[in-house]
Amino acid sequence: MSTIVRLGYVAMSVHLENSSPSQTMTFAQFQRVKDHEAAIRKLERIAISNLENCLRLLKHNAWSEIEFFRFSSKLIPLANHEALKDWNYIAPLKDALQRISVFLKEHPMRVDFHPDHFVVLNSTDKEVFKHSIQTLRMHQKLLKGMDIPLKNRCVLHVGGAYNDKEKALEQFIHNWGLVPQSLQQMIMLENDDTTFHIKDVLYLCEKLNVPIIFDLYHHQANNDETSWQEHWDRIIRTWEQETLPLKMHISSPKSDKEFRAHADYIDVNGFYSFLKEVNGTIPQIDCMIEAKKKDEALFQLVRDLKSYEDVEFINSSTFYIKS
């Protein structure tokens, strides 16, 4: 058995002009609009434009045979701002969300989110935790508006270490009990490049029955002197009960000096070597490319992979390595 590998990219295209799904409006700009209702309408127009650009990106993906995509988490500016508590931001977006729903039914692809770093579920600060839950609820509403099943749709980091990593892990477990089950089901946890390495995240995932997003590049930066190979079986097991394939992140360092910054493209040799090692251990891996050149990084990786004689492409972004 060979492992099928499906490639995806993050949020934006370098090939589509004027297609940003992350157009925004700061609260300072909002306040400068003297008419409050006019300011709200402007926010709504920006959000609708972001969703329209999302649909353009999905059409670009379908045309390019890309079946894996991460939505921007900045679709709705100021969605959870304290001063806009009474704004029902989803209502004016229903038509735009439904257009995406219809398109995804006609052109199925795996889509998900990676909420921003301020979503911190292990925080002891009640306001930070509350805001994190509000942000997850926003993602839930967007998913429901697009008729996308909620399971395994939001990638999160563990959070802060707060000078005591073991205590921070236990705080995550404590706070997890305060997260509504409807939000829990959306969450996947990722190893990060500075604090919580793969053993830490596997500890949480196994205890809480959450799938892990293995980030190979983060592991290279932060690994507690252990190899990913010794944890691979455990990584696979966290996905055994899920309907979606195992998901991981791939990226490459910008340079030795700026190791934690993402490069424009993916180092094909390192990625190919990894795939050779895991080939046949699992039916499918969905690899999210985190690179500055977005979809062009995916296209370039495909071109590079085609130079290997044992790589067989199923479509323009999905392939396997012949055993």
Give dist(CA 185, CA 170) in Å, integer: 20
Residue type, 79: A
Using one digit for the tens of pLDDT, what is the confidence trace for 33-48?
999 999 999 999 999 9
- Whether 206 has a pLDDT exceeding 70, the answer reads yes
Average pLDDT for 279-289: 98
**Ranges of H-type helices in 83-164:** 94-106, 126-145
Average pLDDT for 75-88: 94
Question: Average pLDDT over the chain, rounded to whole?
Answer: 96
Q: Cα Rg for the chain, rounded, in angstroms?
A: 20
Give dist(CA 246, CA 234) in Å, integer: 12
The answer to whether the Cα torsion of 185, 93, 146, 286 is positive or negative is negative
Which residues pair with residue 113 across a beta bridge?
Answer: 154
pLDDT-based confidence at residue 136 (cuts at 50, 70, 90)? very high
Instruction: Give the CA distances from residue 110 to residues 60, 85, 92, 179, in Å, rounded to whole numbers and listed in that order.
Output: 14, 32, 25, 25
Instruction: Give the CA distances from residue 136 to residues 103, 143, 175, 199, 239, in Å, rounded to whole numbers and listed in that order.
Output: 24, 11, 14, 25, 22
Q: What is the pLDDT of residue 262?
A: 76
- Whether 253 has a pLDDT exceeding 90, the answer reads no
Q: What is the pLDDT of residue 258?
A: 66
Using one digit for the tens of pLDDT, what is the confidence trace for 21-35?
999 999 999 999 999
pLDDT-based confidence at residue 260 (cuts at 50, 70, 90)? low
Which candidate, 88, 21, 14, places its Cα nearest to that of 49? 21
Supply 116's token pair.
Answer: 């921003």
Cα dihedral value 81, 82, 85, 91, nearest 10: 0
**SS3 assignment, position 49:** helix
Q: What is the pLDDT of residue 256?
A: 64
pLDDT-based confidence at residue 202 (cuts at 50, 70, 90)? very high
Please provide residue 9's backbone torsions phi and psi, each rounded to the nearest 5 degrees.
-140, 175
Pairing, β 311-313 against β 318-321: antiparallel
Is it true that domain 4-321 has CATH number 3.20.20.150?
Answer: yes
Give dist(CA 171, CA 258) in Å, integer: 32
| pTM, to two decimals | 0.96
Query: What percentage of the chain's residues is helix, strand, coil (to nearest 5)?
Result: 45, 15, 45
**SS3 assignment, position 30:** helix
Supply 182's token pair.
Answer: 């409807």
pLDDT-based confidence at residue 254 (cuts at 50, 70, 90)? confident
Percent of the chain residues past pLDDT 90, beyond the cut? 96
- Whether 255 has a pLDDT exceeding 70, the answer reads no
Average pLDDT for 224-235: 96
Average pLDDT for 111-133: 96
Residue scoring higher pLDDT (261 or 55) = 55
Q: What is the pLDDT of residue 171?
A: 98
